[in-house]
Amino acid sequence: MKPDLFAIGPFVVHGYGLMIALGVAAALFVGEKRAPKLGLNGDHLFSIAIWGVTGGVIGSKVLYWIVELPSILENPAILLDIGHGFVVYGGILGGILGGFLYCRLKKLSFLKYFDLVMPSVALAQGFGRLGCLLAGCCYGRQTDGWFRIVFTESPIAPNGVPLIPTQLISSLANFAHFAVLVWAAKRVKADGQVAGLYLIFYSIGRSLIELLRDDPRGAVGGLSTSQFISLFILIVGVCMVVVFGRRGKERSHVFDRGPGQSR
């Protein structure tokens, strides 16, 4: 597509970087709008975003090094390439850890802010995958079908070959994911369930899109690295929805009994 959108003197605007910036801005805007409706202080969101993005960058880089360990052992110079090589799942896990540490530091309810932030994360990921489309990374398998894309000047994807537009599919799925989570946030019964639903939906969607991708990725047995991690993320998400849901019901039963009737 268009890795470099335009240049102003020596300053080059990269498509991927621009989409990431737009995604973060959109995520913060939506999060701040939703925060008061959930009884939360939106002023904390910017700080949570800083901690989350920092943790996400570190996590995605560390997981990339783990996945590419055999290549790194053969060529340690890979460690010096800081600007390339990231794994999304590492970013998600690192971002969650960063947000958790901030909430602990400020004595905030992590689960409440976790639920607030995760729909915005899905929204940001939708923009991020459009960045992948512009850059040509995360490309799909070759296809003869009508739904395809042909890159002509990508430094990453094979040029002149019809490919499944996995980046566009992922982007649309993430935007839909955002809408579903916002809808679910109005209906869940306990804190932590929206975040659990994010983990469930993302792990399933990521596993499916991996079947269509053809870019170089790590593997664990017959699964890609992301599919392997998705199994554990799915289990964690299901446990969160079920366990937190039961706790929510137990609390509501206690309150329903009225004062002096709890057991």
pLDDT of residue 248: 66
Residue 13, strand partner residues: 6
pLDDT of residue 254: 44
Neighbour count for residue 121 (Cβ, 10 Å): 28
pLDDT of residue 38: 87
Helix/strand/coil for 42: coil
Sequence-ordered list of residues with C-beta below 8 angstroms from that of 8, at least 6 positions apart, any chain: none
pTM for the model stands at: 0.84
What's the CA gap between 6 and 28, in Å, rounded? 26
Angle at 159 between CA 153 and CA 165, to 5 degrees: 100
pLDDT of residue 260: 46
What's the CA gap between 128 and 124, in Å, rounded? 6
**Structure tokens belonging to residue 67:** 């996945």
Question: Considering just the CA atoms, what is the radius of gyration of the chain in Å?
Answer: 20
pLDDT of residue 255: 41
What's the CA gap between 167 and 92, in Å, rounded? 18
pLDDT of residue 13: 66
From first to last of its 263 residues, what are the pLDDT tens digits of the chain?
A: 666 666 676 776 677 888 888 999 999 999 999 999 888 988 898 899 899 889 988 988 888 888 777 777 877 766 666 656 677 788 888 999 999 999 999 999 999 999 999 999 999 999 999 998 988 888 999 999 899 999 988 888 899 999 999 999 999 999 999 999 999 999 888 999 999 999 999 999 999 999 999 988 777 888 888 899 899 999 999 999 999 988 766 555 444 455 444 33
What's the CA gap between 110 and 116, in Å, rounded? 10
Neighbour count for residue 187 (Cβ, 10 Å): 8
pLDDT of residue 78: 66
